[in-house]
Amino acid sequence: MELMKTTMYLTFMIAITTLSMQYKHLMLALMCVETMMLIVFTMLVVFTSTSLTMSQIPMPVILLTISVCSAAVGLSLVVAITRTHGNDFLKNLNLL
């Protein structure tokens, strides 16, 4: 069990590092965020299944619902930016 927890923590840190180094495409940055959300979902499922408390059972479903909604919003933003600017390069966007 400790190996699984260590692996999850390590993959989460790798996803954070990849997100911080992502400076070219908006779509790749959103994919890193979604990977982080899936890792957090997996960690939450593993931790709630080992603790067996009934109060924490709906939390993974709520997290997964919020993750899907944010993915839909992110994808619609990528489509809108691609239609207006022609590409999804982060350096072409004036975010300020």
Range in 5-14, 23-32, 50-59, 61-70 the model is least confident about: 50-59
Domain count of the fold of the chain: 1
Kindly report the backbone phi and psi dihedral angles of residue 70, in degrees, each rounded to the nearest multiple of 5, phi listed first.
-70, -35
Residue 20: give its domain's CATH number: 1.10.287.3510
- Cα radius of gyration rounded to whole Å, the chain: 16
Contact 29, 93 (CB under 8 A): no
40: how many CB neighbours lie within 10 A of its CB?
A: 17
Cα separation, 45 vs 6, in Å, equals: 15
Amino acid letter, residue 65: T
pLDDT digits (tens, 9 = 90+) for 18-60: 988 877 888 888 889 999 999 998 888 888 777 766 666 788 8
- Its domain, for residue 41, covers 2-92
**Mean pLDDT computed over 80-86:** 85
**Mean pLDDT computed over 3-26:** 88
Give the pLDDT confidence score for residue 78 in this predicted structure: 86
